[in-house]
Structure 1
Amino acid sequence: MALTPAHFPRLSPQDILDCQVSSWYPLFSHISIKTTIIKPVPPELREYLLADGLFAPRGSTDDNDGSENEDDEDSETEDGKVSFAFPTLDAQIREAISKYDAVFPKLNWSSPKDAQWVLSTSEFMRCTTPAEVYLSLKASDFVQHDLNPAFVFEHLDAPEYELELVLKKWYTFHRSREMRCFVRGSILIAISQRDLVYYDFLTADDAQNTIRNTIYRLWKEEIDPKWGSHTDYIFDVLLTRDLERAHIVDFNPYAPKTDSLMFTYEELQSIHSSSSASGFSPVLRIIDSRSHPLANVNGPLNQHNMLPLDAFSLSQGKTGQEFADALADAIQEANAREE
């Protein structure tokens, strides 16, 4: 069954803008991950992120003091290529890293979760230098979404918006506790596990009842009273270890571009149609067995985005450490060509 406009609410450009972190975080900072929002950013940052090649801006690594010719945001090298430097932004990123120890970066709407391969650590999206922040954003296919108004405001008149850099406090958490929640017609209709991997503890009835109750309570007591002017949206949460509390991670438009995970939008429409019935409670879906057809048993989510051809060629015939060393050398050489 093909998706039709009937499966989705009619959104306005403001609905999209309101899903920016800078729009919702001030309302929900007390129940969200600690976050620093840098806005505006230098206009040249967009140009850097769209430029060909993978290289860090001058002065953004920890192996130089950031003093070499960085009065201008960008300049030309001897071969005519533009070289980028963001000394003020570097300082702001370093301040956030000093405050949080490490950060998870994103732009207005999208995070570079497909660019883990460019980081030197196996800890998911853990950035400890401005260079790592820039490289993860630049290497990400998902982040490109935020740079293209036609994609951000698909089928809508695109308003002006400023690019923003979002730096969330990084810390270790178990991805089994991430949930995506669907609100349609001002009713919380469905909840989906985000990390499509089998976790035994999620199959217990008590755990599922607690998850459903915790998220419903968060939505009813915190989100709906402050976000009530929005009737259709999708939000992500991270549950605490005991599943009794939750933190807001993100808001997303109720639109085809937002992954519906363990539901189809046709199913969500059907659930919404029955949500006015007496005794309705949100439908919760989790991976309930290792053989579940959606179980991500062969690799991480978005694995097809995670390695460009150049990096793939570097990996051939090498151990993991040899590949990491080769990739670091390749990035260093690219940076040298830009200087």
Structure 2
Amino acid sequence: MSLPLFPPLTRSNVLACQLSSWYPTLASVSIKTVTIRPLDVQFRDYLLADGVHIPLGSEGITAADTLSEDESDEDEGEDGPSYTFPQLDTSIRKAIADFGAVFPKLNWSSPKDAAWMLPQSSPLKCTSPADVYLLLKSSDFVNHDLDPSIVFEGCEEDDEQSDFSYELELSLRKWYAIDKGREFRCFVRDNMLLGASQRDHNYYEYLNESETQELVLGTIGCFWRDHLLEERCPVGPHYVFDLLLTRDLRRAHLIDINPFAPRTDPLIFTYAELQELARMPSRPKLAVIESTGHADAARNAPLFQHNMVPLEALQLSAGRTPQDFTNALAEEIRRSAFEDA
């Protein structure tokens, strides 16, 4: 019997990959997180609305202070709807007070493609509700979570009596300055750890040392056996999980769990290679960038760069270096967003 490229995917599997689904069970080995749910329909409308507009009151002043009594009943201004989320603002501020700073995620997706909107010295670091909204509104990735037809694309039918609806939610995770060279994506099929891929597409000399590779695989294998193997993973027998290893590479923190499906980037692997590893079980394989010439131009370039340059902003690029252009574009969007607020 031939092994298909991907194992069967059900709606139950997808729902189990929501951060709020697996976090309660695995909180002790993950990053501190608080989830706000459900988000109301108005917030969904805000995320889907054209343009990047920061909700009233999300910086430091309340929405009531920014609107007169006559204006507060108005749903729309000259340029479209005005949004305000005072209760959500309060919840976000509490999480920031508890954690120091946060980075946001919806049910499945985080706005990593919009990290350039905040200072590069602390990417994705949110210290106000406005920062959270700015990332979410600037991201293409989070749109995935807003459309059930995309969320459940490619899924087989489950028990017809089950309820596969979901409510939009916002998870706020404690922000850390993460060393990308210690992030790994790990692939499990039929409860078998096939391999792990370096997540960052840059060359790290120490990751090519045999002793380091043995240590990394040993740490990943121990974490998987202790916390995810068999019934301990709520997703089922097929899944992909992301780990951040500690500086000494001897312990790990769980970052995320994803479906074993085309929507999940295999990074340095291809799914055909993972299929072969599943056909011929052996010890897990570690995939790393082997030299500065190993990665092609796309891998050496900044991740998500296709999301970094809206066509409307090309005029900003004249006479600027790529880095200066990125900074200028981010500042222009921030300025416009806060002017509208």
1:248 aligns with one of 251, 254, 261:
254
State the shift of 1:323 in Å.
6.8
Q: 2 CA distance for matches of 1:140 and 1:114?
A: 6
In structure 2, what residue type is equivalent to 1:124? P
2:308–2:326 contact (8 Å) kept in structure 1: no
Partner of residue 52, structure 2:
54
1:11 aligns with one of 6, 9, 12:
9
* Cα 1:325–1:182 shift into 2, 3 Å: closer
Partner of residue 90, structure 1:
89
2:54–2:134 contact (8 Å) kept in structure 1: yes
Partner of residue 307, structure 2:
305
Unaligned ranges ≥5, structure 1: none
Q: 1 CA distance for matches of 2:86 and 2:259?
A: 34
Q: 1 CA distance for matches of 2:113 and 2:72?
A: 27
**TM-score in terms of structure 1 length:** 0.89
In structure 2, what residue type is equivalent to 1:149? P
* Cα 1:17–1:288 shift into 2, 3 Å: same
1:175 aligns with one of 180, 203, 206:
180
Q: 2 CA distance for matches of 1:12 and 1:74?
A: 44
Aligned residue-pair number? 330
1:7–1:265 contact (8 Å) kept in structure 2: yes
Q: Counterparts in 2 of 1:267-306, with a 5 A limit?
A: 267-275=273-281, 280-294=282-296, 298-306=300-308
In structure 1, what residue type is equivalent to 2:81? V
1:210 aligned to 2:207? no
* Cα 1:47–1:243 shift into 2, 3 Å: same
1:265 aligns with one of 271, 277, 281:
271
2:56–2:82 contact (8 Å) kept in structure 1: yes
Q: 1 CA distance for matches of 2:153 and 2:167?
A: 17
State the shift of 1:99 in Å.
1.1
In structure 2, what residue type is equivalent to 1:137? L
Partner of residue 99, structure 1:
98
Percent of matched pairs sharing the same residue? 45
Runs of 4+ in 1 over 4 A off after TM superposition: 69-75, 294-298, 318-327
Partner of residue 108, structure 2:
109
Tell me whether 26-35 or 156-165 shows the greater mean CA deviation: 156-165
2:106–2:170 contact (8 Å) kept in structure 1: yes
1:29 aligns with one of 4, 27, 50:
27
1:112–1:143 contact (8 Å) kept in structure 2: yes
Q: 1 CA distance for matches of 2:57 and 2:263?
A: 36
* Cα 1:330–1:6 shift into 2, 3 Å: closer
Tell me whether 318-327 or 107-116 shows the greater mean CA deviation: 318-327
**TM-score in terms of structure 2 length:** 0.89
Tell me whether 42-51 or 326-335 shows the greater mean CA deviation: 326-335
Per-residue CA deviations over 1:130-177 (Å, capped at 9, x if unaligned) read 111011111111111111111110033693110110111111121000
Partner of residue 240, structure 2:
234
Partner of residue 200, structure 1:
205
Per-residue CA deviations over 1:267-290 (Å, capped at 9, x if unaligned) read 111110111xxxx21011111111
- Classify the secondary structure of the residue corresponding to 1:36: strand
Q: Counterparts in 2 of 1:53-202, with a 5 A limit?
A: 53-62=51-60, 64-68=61-65, 69=67, 75-79=74-78, 81-156=80-155, 159-202=164-207
State the shift of 1:221 in Å.
1.0
In structure 1, what residue type is equivalent to 2:18? Q
State the shift of 1:331 in Å.
3.8
In structure 2, what residue type is equivalent to 1:82? P
Q: 1 CA distance for matches of 2:179 and 2:291?
A: 18
Q: 2 CA distance for matches of 1:305 and 1:80?
A: 25
In structure 2, what residue type is equivalent to 1:56? I
In structure 2, what residue type is equivalent to 1:13? R
* Cα 1:177–1:80 shift into 2, 3 Å: closer
State the shift of 1:49 in Å.
0.5
Unaligned ranges ≥5, structure 2: 158-162
1:314–1:326 contact (8 Å) kept in structure 2: yes
- Classify the secondary structure of the residue corresponding to 2:4: helix
In structure 1, what residue type is equivalent to 2:111? P
Partner of residue 40, structure 1:
38
* Cα 1:8–1:136 shift into 2, 3 Å: same
Q: 2 CA distance for matches of 1:162 and 1:74?
A: 27
Q: 2 CA distance for matches of 1:49 and 1:132?
A: 14
